[in-house]
Amino acid sequence: MIPLVDLKAQYETIKIEIQEAVYSVLESQRFIMGDKVEELESKIAQFCNVRHGIGVASGSDALLLSLMSIGISAGDEVITTPYTFFATAGAVSRLGGVPVFVDIDRTYNIDPYMIEDKITSRTKAIIPVHLFGQCADMDIINEIAQRHGLYVIEDAAQAIGARYKGRKAGSMGDLGCLSFFPTKNLGCYGDGGMVLTDNDELAEKIRVLRVHGSNPKYHHSVIGINSRLDAIQAAVLLAKFKYLVSWNMIRRSIAMIYNNYFIKTAIKTPITEPFNDHVFNQYVIALEDRDGLRDRLKENGISSEVYYPIPLHLQECYNWLGYKREDLPESSWASEHTLALPVYPELTWTQQKYIIDTVLK
């Protein structure tokens, strides 16, 4: 059986380092925040070319805290894509805000040319998602945001290390959100996330908001949440971080090999814009009989996954927004036709060749 991602295989390659890292936290008996978290925050911030990294409990919380820091509240509109993981829009709704969905382009990211039409007097922010590991077209998005006085929050949960015109994912908006969920390109052994920003004021707000708005201790001028990064997770992430760049390179070469074999078939391979360095958190193809291929792969012991089977504009909880399938046709089409194939650094050539042969058959 070939899994979609093989965390056990990865663990085997770094077992000793991970065990030492976790052991040192056990010995310290300091589990919440502390040195390891601070070291990770500065390493990731430096890697992503931003001034601040703020460790939080998950990628979902990174989005929520970012929206809290810019003051999103009841009735505020936030423009985003419906073709993403639920957390992107869920964070907006948790604050009483209203997600406004804009369709995607051929890269599966938000279509920047369709954003401006959706801006109203209540619009406060845009959340582009760097889906599957490729950045959205940030220059156009930032230009629109600037012209209308909107914040930009990058959902970079799937894109740590990705570049857009040389700039790092998470460094181009006012705030960037990372997730360290185990299957992300840099994953911890539980939940974890980080907010990235160059804005000193927003960074300070988020540092306070993640500890219940406490500043100084037991003094609350604002209401925050409990969203801290654990020292054990930070230790695991520090051990894994040194491999991130090479792991991303391997993901990219696996994707290029898939492309070479599929390009002349009826399979629609992922489109990478020339100015993007894609880090392939997922390798996603599209084809007419997606479900048929998925069944055949399963019969042959190959895992695949549908990201995402129901676009957010058609989720039951958003019925009240009144969207129909045809309102966002590209997102709806993608949900019906895309399939993610195994892509992870430990995937061997023998395994990949078997996947390719099975797909082609």
Ligand X SMILES: *Cc1c(COP(=O)(O)O)cnc(C)c1O
Closest CA to 281 of 313, 259, 307: 307
The first and second tokens of residue 308, run together, are 């995402």
| 327 vs 268: CA distance, rounded Å | 23
CB of 182 to ligand X, least distance (A): 9
Closest CA to 55 of 34, 74, 69: 34
**CB-nearer residue toward ligand X: 158 or 352:** 158
Q: Which helix (H) or strand (E) holds 339?
A: strand 338-341
58 binds ligand X (CB under 6 A): yes
Among 66, 81, 84, 197, binds ligand X (CB under 6 A): 84
The first and second tokens of residue 115, run together, are 């954003």
DSSP 171-219: SSSSEEEEE--TTSSS--SS--EEEEES-HHHHHHHHHHTBTTBSSTT-
Chain centroid to CA 35: 26
Among 54, 72, 129, 206, binds ligand X (CB under 6 A): 129
Stretch that binds ligand X, among 1-9, 22-30, 54-62, 216-224 (CB under 6 A): 54-62
10 binds ligand X (CB under 6 A): no
Question: Residue 329's CB: how many other CB atoms inside 10 A?
Answer: 12
**CB-nearer residue toward ligand X: 59 or 224:** 59
Among 191, 209, 231, 235, binds ligand X (CB under 6 A): 191
Among 144, 157, 172, 208, binds ligand X (CB under 6 A): 157
| 61 vs 231: CA distance, rounded Å | 17
| 214 vs 110: CA distance, rounded Å | 36
Among 82, 193, 224, 270, binds ligand X (CB under 6 A): 193
CB of 157 to ligand X, least distance (A): 3
Stretch that binds ligand X, among 84-92, 215-223, 255-263, 291-299 (CB under 6 A): 84-92
| 161 vs 249: CA distance, rounded Å | 10
87 binds ligand X (CB under 6 A): yes
The first and second tokens of residue 245, run together, are 């760049």
CB of 159 to ligand X, least distance (A): 9
Binding mask 265-304 for ligand X (x = CB under 6 A): ----------------------------------------
Among 77, 105, 155, 277, binds ligand X (CB under 6 A): 155
Q: Which helix (H) or strand (E) holds 220?
A: none
The first and second tokens of residue 273, run together, are 């814009």
**CB-nearer residue toward ligand X: 170 or 193:** 193
81 binds ligand X (CB under 6 A): no
Among 60, 142, 248, 269, binds ligand X (CB under 6 A): 60
Among 69, 80, 158, 332, binds ligand X (CB under 6 A): 158
Stretch that binds ligand X, among 107-115, 138-146, 155-163, 256-264 (CB under 6 A): 155-163
132 binds ligand X (CB under 6 A): no
**CB-nearer residue toward ligand X: 112 or 193:** 193
**CB-nearer residue toward ligand X: 129 or 160:** 129
CB of 179 to ligand X, least distance (A): 3
Question: Residue 66's CB: how many other CB atoms inside 10 A?
Answer: 31
Amino acid letter for position 229: L
Stretch that binds ligand X, among 55-63, 216-224, 249-257, 314-322 (CB under 6 A): 55-63
The tokens 């000793």 sit on which residue? Answer: 16
Q: Which helix (H) or strand (E) holds 126?
A: strand 123-127
Q: Which residues make Cβ contacts (< 8 Å) with residue 305, sequence separation at least 6?
A: 4, 339, 340
The first and second tokens of residue 71, run together, are 């003051």
Going by their DSSP bridges, the two strands 175-179 and 151-155 should be labelled as parallel
> What is the binding site for ligand X (CB under 6 A)?
58-60, 84-85, 87-88, 129, 155, 157-158, 179, 181, 191, 193
